[in-house]
Amino acid sequence: MRDLTRTGVRTVVLKDDSLDDVYGNIAAAGKMTGRSDAARALIAQLKARTAALVRAAHRSSRVPSVFVVLGTAPIFTVGKGSYIASLIALAGGRNAAADVDAPYARYSAEALIARQPDVLVVDPDIHFADVVGDAPWNALRAVRRHRVFTLSSAAILERPGPRYNDGLAWLIAALRKARA
Protein backbone atom coordinates (compact mmCIF):
# COMPACT_ATOMS: atom_id res chain seq x y z
CA MET A 1 0.00 0.00 0.00
CA ARG A 2 2.88 2.31 0.77
CA ASP A 3 4.05 2.02 -2.86
CA LEU A 4 0.60 2.98 -4.14
CA THR A 5 0.48 5.99 -1.84
CA ARG A 6 3.92 7.11 -3.00
CA THR A 7 2.78 7.03 -6.62
CA GLY A 8 -0.21 9.20 -5.80
CA VAL A 9 -2.85 6.49 -5.99
CA ARG A 10 -5.53 7.13 -3.40
CA THR A 11 -5.84 4.15 -1.10
CA VAL A 12 -8.43 3.35 1.51
CA VAL A 13 -8.21 0.55 4.05
CA LEU A 14 -11.57 -0.86 5.07
CA LYS A 15 -12.31 -3.11 8.03
CA ASP A 16 -14.04 -6.40 7.15
CA ASP A 17 -14.57 -8.36 10.36
CA SER A 18 -18.36 -8.17 10.56
CA LEU A 19 -21.52 -7.91 8.49
CA ASP A 20 -21.81 -4.31 9.64
CA ASP A 21 -18.34 -3.76 8.17
CA VAL A 22 -19.52 -5.24 4.86
CA TYR A 23 -22.48 -2.85 4.78
CA GLY A 24 -20.28 0.06 5.84
CA ASN A 25 -17.75 -0.75 3.13
CA ILE A 26 -20.45 -0.82 0.46
CA ALA A 27 -21.72 2.53 1.70
CA ALA A 28 -18.16 3.93 1.71
CA ALA A 29 -17.52 2.68 -1.83
CA GLY A 30 -20.80 4.23 -2.92
CA LYS A 31 -19.83 7.56 -1.41
CA MET A 32 -16.33 7.49 -2.92
CA THR A 33 -17.72 6.77 -6.38
CA GLY A 34 -20.71 9.09 -6.26
CA ARG A 35 -23.11 6.11 -6.16
CA SER A 36 -24.49 6.39 -2.64
CA ASP A 37 -28.06 5.69 -3.74
CA ALA A 38 -27.02 2.49 -5.52
CA ALA A 39 -24.98 1.44 -2.48
CA ARG A 40 -27.97 1.98 -0.16
CA ALA A 41 -30.18 -0.04 -2.53
CA LEU A 42 -27.63 -2.89 -2.60
CA ILE A 43 -27.39 -2.90 1.20
CA ALA A 44 -31.19 -3.08 1.45
CA GLN A 45 -31.27 -5.99 -1.04
CA LEU A 46 -28.56 -7.85 0.85
CA LYS A 47 -30.29 -7.40 4.21
CA ALA A 48 -33.62 -8.54 2.73
CA ARG A 49 -32.06 -11.70 1.28
CA THR A 50 -30.30 -12.39 4.59
CA ALA A 51 -33.60 -12.10 6.45
CA ALA A 52 -35.29 -14.46 3.97
CA LEU A 53 -32.50 -17.03 4.26
CA VAL A 54 -32.56 -16.91 8.05
CA ARG A 55 -36.35 -17.32 8.10
CA ALA A 56 -36.10 -20.35 5.81
CA ALA A 57 -33.25 -21.98 7.77
CA HIS A 58 -34.18 -25.06 9.74
CA ARG A 59 -33.95 -24.36 13.44
CA SER A 60 -33.85 -27.03 16.10
CA SER A 61 -33.30 -27.10 19.81
CA ARG A 62 -29.85 -28.58 19.22
CA VAL A 63 -27.44 -26.04 17.74
CA PRO A 64 -24.58 -27.80 15.96
CA SER A 65 -21.03 -26.66 16.61
CA VAL A 66 -19.13 -25.72 13.47
CA PHE A 67 -15.37 -25.62 13.09
CA VAL A 68 -14.06 -23.81 10.02
CA VAL A 69 -10.82 -25.29 8.73
CA LEU A 70 -8.77 -22.59 7.01
CA GLY A 71 -5.47 -24.41 7.48
CA THR A 72 -4.30 -27.81 8.70
CA ALA A 73 -0.59 -27.36 9.48
CA PRO A 74 -0.84 -25.30 11.54
CA ILE A 75 -4.55 -25.51 12.26
CA PHE A 76 -6.08 -22.15 11.42
CA THR A 77 -9.71 -21.17 12.02
CA VAL A 78 -12.17 -18.35 12.67
CA GLY A 79 -12.69 -16.84 16.11
CA LYS A 80 -15.68 -15.15 17.66
CA GLY A 81 -14.78 -11.77 16.19
CA SER A 82 -14.94 -12.90 12.59
CA TYR A 83 -17.57 -12.18 10.01
CA ILE A 84 -17.71 -15.94 9.29
CA ALA A 85 -18.72 -16.60 12.91
CA SER A 86 -21.66 -14.23 12.33
CA LEU A 87 -22.71 -16.26 9.29
CA ILE A 88 -22.47 -19.51 11.28
CA ALA A 89 -24.84 -18.05 13.89
CA LEU A 90 -27.26 -16.80 11.23
CA ALA A 91 -27.24 -20.29 9.65
CA GLY A 92 -28.29 -21.85 12.95
CA GLY A 93 -24.93 -23.08 14.19
CA ARG A 94 -22.40 -22.01 16.76
CA ASN A 95 -18.72 -21.46 16.23
CA ALA A 96 -16.76 -24.29 17.86
CA ALA A 97 -13.79 -21.93 18.19
CA ALA A 98 -15.72 -19.19 19.96
CA ASP A 99 -13.06 -19.26 22.66
CA VAL A 100 -10.69 -17.51 20.22
CA ASP A 101 -10.84 -13.73 20.68
CA ALA A 102 -9.17 -12.89 17.35
CA PRO A 103 -11.19 -12.97 14.12
CA TYR A 104 -8.74 -15.51 12.64
CA ALA A 105 -6.13 -17.50 14.53
CA ARG A 106 -4.15 -20.67 15.01
CA TYR A 107 -5.90 -23.38 16.99
CA SER A 108 -4.40 -26.25 18.94
CA ALA A 109 -5.04 -29.86 17.99
CA GLU A 110 -5.73 -30.63 21.65
CA ALA A 111 -8.42 -27.96 21.90
CA LEU A 112 -9.97 -29.16 18.65
CA ILE A 113 -10.18 -32.75 19.89
CA ALA A 114 -11.61 -31.57 23.22
CA ARG A 115 -14.28 -29.47 21.42
CA GLN A 116 -15.40 -32.34 19.13
CA PRO A 117 -17.29 -30.12 16.67
CA ASP A 118 -20.41 -31.52 15.03
CA VAL A 119 -19.50 -30.14 11.60
CA LEU A 120 -16.30 -29.20 9.79
CA VAL A 121 -16.43 -26.55 7.07
CA VAL A 122 -13.32 -26.81 4.93
CA ASP A 123 -11.57 -24.38 2.60
CA PRO A 124 -11.17 -26.20 -0.75
CA ASP A 125 -7.61 -24.92 -1.20
CA ILE A 126 -6.14 -26.74 1.81
CA HIS A 127 -6.56 -30.26 0.35
CA PHE A 128 -8.19 -31.67 3.47
CA ALA A 129 -8.55 -35.11 1.89
CA ASP A 130 -4.76 -35.46 2.15
CA VAL A 131 -4.81 -35.15 5.97
CA VAL A 132 -8.25 -36.38 7.04
CA GLY A 133 -6.82 -39.75 8.05
CA ASP A 134 -4.16 -38.14 10.24
CA ALA A 135 -4.33 -36.82 13.79
CA PRO A 136 -6.09 -34.75 15.00
CA TRP A 137 -8.65 -34.97 12.20
CA ASN A 138 -9.22 -38.73 12.45
CA ALA A 139 -10.10 -38.33 16.13
CA LEU A 140 -13.04 -36.03 15.39
CA ARG A 141 -16.64 -37.19 15.59
CA ALA A 142 -17.50 -34.91 12.65
CA VAL A 143 -15.04 -36.82 10.46
CA ARG A 144 -16.28 -40.25 11.61
CA ARG A 145 -19.90 -39.22 10.96
CA HIS A 146 -19.05 -37.76 7.53
CA ARG A 147 -20.04 -34.25 8.51
CA VAL A 148 -17.21 -32.60 6.64
CA PHE A 149 -18.34 -30.05 4.07
CA THR A 150 -15.88 -28.54 1.62
CA LEU A 151 -16.78 -25.19 0.15
CA SER A 152 -17.32 -25.16 -3.59
CA SER A 153 -15.54 -21.82 -3.65
CA ALA A 154 -13.74 -20.30 -0.67
CA ALA A 155 -14.77 -16.83 -1.81
CA ILE A 156 -18.45 -17.29 -0.96
CA LEU A 157 -17.64 -17.68 2.72
CA GLU A 158 -14.19 -16.25 3.23
CA ARG A 159 -14.40 -12.95 1.36
CA PRO A 160 -16.58 -10.43 3.17
CA GLY A 161 -18.54 -8.63 0.49
CA PRO A 162 -21.76 -8.58 -1.49
CA ARG A 163 -21.65 -12.37 -2.08
CA TYR A 164 -21.87 -13.19 1.63
CA ASN A 165 -25.45 -14.43 1.22
CA ASP A 166 -24.18 -17.17 -1.10
CA GLY A 167 -21.97 -18.31 1.77
CA LEU A 168 -24.87 -18.06 4.21
CA ALA A 169 -27.09 -20.16 1.93
CA TRP A 170 -24.30 -22.72 1.58
CA LEU A 171 -23.88 -22.91 5.37
CA ILE A 172 -27.63 -23.34 5.88
CA ALA A 173 -27.66 -26.22 3.38
CA ALA A 174 -24.61 -27.86 4.99
CA LEU A 175 -26.16 -27.67 8.47
CA ARG A 176 -29.41 -29.10 7.08
CA LYS A 177 -27.46 -32.09 5.66
CA ALA A 178 -25.59 -32.52 8.95
CA ARG A 179 -28.87 -32.76 10.86
CA ALA A 180 -30.27 -35.41 8.49
Query: How distant is the alpha carbon of residue 74 from its chain centre?
Result: 19
pLDDT 10s digits, 107-116: 999 999 999 9
**One CATH from 3.30.70.2190, 3.10.180.10, 2.60.40.420, 3.40.50.1980 for 65-179:** 3.40.50.1980
**Taking 90 as the threshold, does the pLDDT of residue 121 lie above it?**
yes
Instruction: Kindly report the pTM of this predicted structure.
Output: 0.90
Average pLDDT over residues 93-114: 95
pLDDT category of residue 11 using cuts at 50, 70 and 90: confident
Residue-by-residue DSSP string for 4-71: HHHTT--------SSHHHHHHHHHHHHHHTT-HHHHHHHHHHHHHHHHHHHHHS---SS--EEEEESE
- Residue whose C-alpha is closest to residue 96's, from 85, 109, 83: 85
